């Protein structure tokens, strides 16, 4: 069943809580719903469109003059299982953390470090969400999708997704070309817990026995202490990506700022902390119009209540320019900006 509405407010569909409207809003429960909608409503084929998951990584600047597709494709089913692992297919419209919770309950390892990340399962491969030393791609086996040009179905193997840091082919060369209908995960029954991340180590030390459930609890506790709850304060998690910098630049910065966090990465480059740069530039806790930089995590921009998308973007631009002037590093937004 599909359901088409006109002039719908998107306020409750984006975690920034920006009050904009979309001209059309189409809710679907299966790939077939989308195919039947377009075959019965051919004029809509030419509308500008956007596929909306949990809306937790989007910034709307103005009303959306087109068609928003809202996949409510549900279901979790075991595809195969042996004593070592289990393959599970999850509908794009399922809430990501509900799936993580099921995995932890069943004793399946792989996604526990990604506890409490907001959003739906369909957005997980697009962003290759990551936290506390783990990226979703390490548990993604394949992605089932519908081509939005010719409506053929395609299975993307893990390698065909071209995963990178907060990146995949669905954000680049195939942007807006596919509707992800479900994701197949491979979870481990025998696994090693990853608690290498500093903050996690000290948190888990307090929760006793090292197991999946306690690791999930530790992640939830850190996230709750640092990250604002979007149902209370509008935000989209990290606004910027952590930047990669050359050994030359990092050497110069380290001479000047011995405390700068630097993490060596593949190819000789180093990753530094955008939050650290923003804090060092004096932005932590600062307000601008109806937007502000979160006082507990400088990478997060919050909506103080009535902010427009433009105000949040303006604040992000001020930060970008200032960090660039101070450190010679141009931050890239992690949030998708919809103009």
Site string for ligand EPU, 169-208 (x = CB under 6 A): ------------------------------x---------
How far lies 227's CA from each of 14, 46, 155, 193, 221, in Å?
17, 39, 35, 23, 10
Which one, 33 or 137, has the nearer CB to ligand EPU? 137
SS3 128: coil
Q: Hey, what are 330's tokens?
A: 């141009």
Among the options 49, 142, 166, 216, which is catalytic? 166
The three state secondary structure string of 172-194 is CCCCCCEEEEEEEEEEECCCCCC
Residue nearer to ligand EPU on the CB measure, 202 or 206: 202
CA pair distance 117, 114, nearest whole angstrom:
6
Of 77-85, 169-177, 292-300, 311-319, the window that binds ligand EPU (rule: CB under 6 A) is: 292-300
Which member of 299, 301, 313, 323 binds ligand EPU (CB under 6 A)? Answer: 299
Catalytic residue among 168, 221, 238, 308: 238
Residues 139-168 that bind ligand EPU (CB under 6 A): none
Site map 230..269 versus ligand EPU, x via CB under 6 A: -------xx--xx------------------x--------
Instruction: Determine whether 87 is an active site residue.
Output: no
> To the nearest whole angstrom, how small is the minimum distance from the Cβ of residue 124 to ligand EPU?
12
- Residue 105 is among the residues annotated as catalytic for this protein: no
* Gap between the Cα atoms of 194 and 132, Å rounded: 8
With CA atoms as reference, report the closest residue to 327 among 265, 263, 261, 232.
Answer: 261
Q: By CB under 6 A, is residue 275 in contact with ligand EPU? A: yes
Q: Is residue 295 within 8 Å of residue 331, measured between CB atoms?
A: no
CB of 261 to ligand EPU, least distance (A): 4
DSSP string covering 296-331: S-TTEEEE-SS--HHHHHHHHHHHHHHHHHHHS---
Annotated catalytic residue 238: yes
- In the bound complex, what is the minimum distance in angstroms from residue 269's beta carbon to ligand EPU? 15
Of the pair 28, 114, the CB lying nearest ligand EPU is at 114
| Interface stretch with ligand EPU, choices 7-15, 21-29, 170-178, 275-283 (CB under 6 A) | 275-283
Q: Could you tell me which of 171, 173, 181 has the C-alpha nearest to residue 337?
A: 171
Q: Are 23 and 67 in contact (CB under 8 A)?
A: yes
How far is residue 117 from each of residues 22, 83, 129, 222, measured CA to CA in Å? 26, 29, 8, 12
Active-site residue set? 166, 238, 334
**Binding footprint of ligand EPU on the chain (CB under 6 A):** 131-132, 199, 226-227, 237-238, 241-242, 261, 273, 275-276, 279, 284, 297-299, 334
């Amino acid at each position: 069943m599909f359901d088409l509405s006109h002039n719908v407010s998107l306020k409750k569909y984006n975690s920034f809580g920006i009050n904009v409207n979309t001209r059309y809003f189409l809710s679907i429960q299966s790939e077939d719903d989308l195919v039947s909608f377009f075959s019965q409503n051919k004029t809509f084929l030419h509308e500008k469109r956007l596929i909306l998951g949990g809306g937790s990584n989007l910034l709307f600047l103005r009303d959306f003059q087109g068609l928003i597709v809202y996949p409510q494709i549900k279901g979790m089913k075991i595809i195969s299982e042996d004593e070592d692992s289990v393959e599970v297919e999850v509908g794009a419209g399922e809430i990501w953390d509900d799936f993580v919770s099921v995995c932890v309950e069943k004793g399946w390892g792989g996604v526990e470090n990604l506890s409490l990340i907001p959003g739906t399962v369909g957005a997980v491969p697009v962003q290759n969400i990551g936290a506390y030393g783990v990226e979703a791609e390490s548990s993604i086996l394949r992605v089932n999708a519908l081509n939005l040009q010719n409506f053929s179905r395609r299975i993307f193997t893990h390698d065909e997704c071209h995963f990178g840091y907060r990146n995949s082919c669905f954000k680049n060369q195939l942007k807006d070309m596919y509707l992800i209908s479900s994701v197949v995960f491979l979870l481990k029954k025998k696994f090693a817990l990853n608690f290498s991340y500093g903050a996690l180590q000290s948190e888990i030390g307090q929760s006793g026995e090292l197991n999946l459930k306690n690791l999930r609890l530790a992640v939830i506790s850190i996230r709750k202490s640092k990250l604002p709850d979007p149902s209370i304060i509008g935000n989209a998690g990290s606004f910027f990506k952590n930047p990669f910098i050359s050994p030359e630049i990092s050497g110069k910065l380290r001479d000047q700022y011995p405390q700068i966090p630097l993490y060596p990465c593949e190819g000789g480059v180093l990753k530094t902390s955008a939050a650290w740069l923003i804090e060092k530039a004096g932005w932590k806790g600062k307000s601008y119009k109806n937007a502000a930089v979160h006082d507990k995590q400088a990478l997060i921009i919050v909506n103080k209540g009535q902010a427009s998308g433009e105000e949040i973007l303006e604040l992000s631009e001020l930060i970008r320019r200032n960090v660039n002037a101070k450190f010679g590093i141009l931050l890239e937004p992690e949030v998708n900006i919809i103009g």
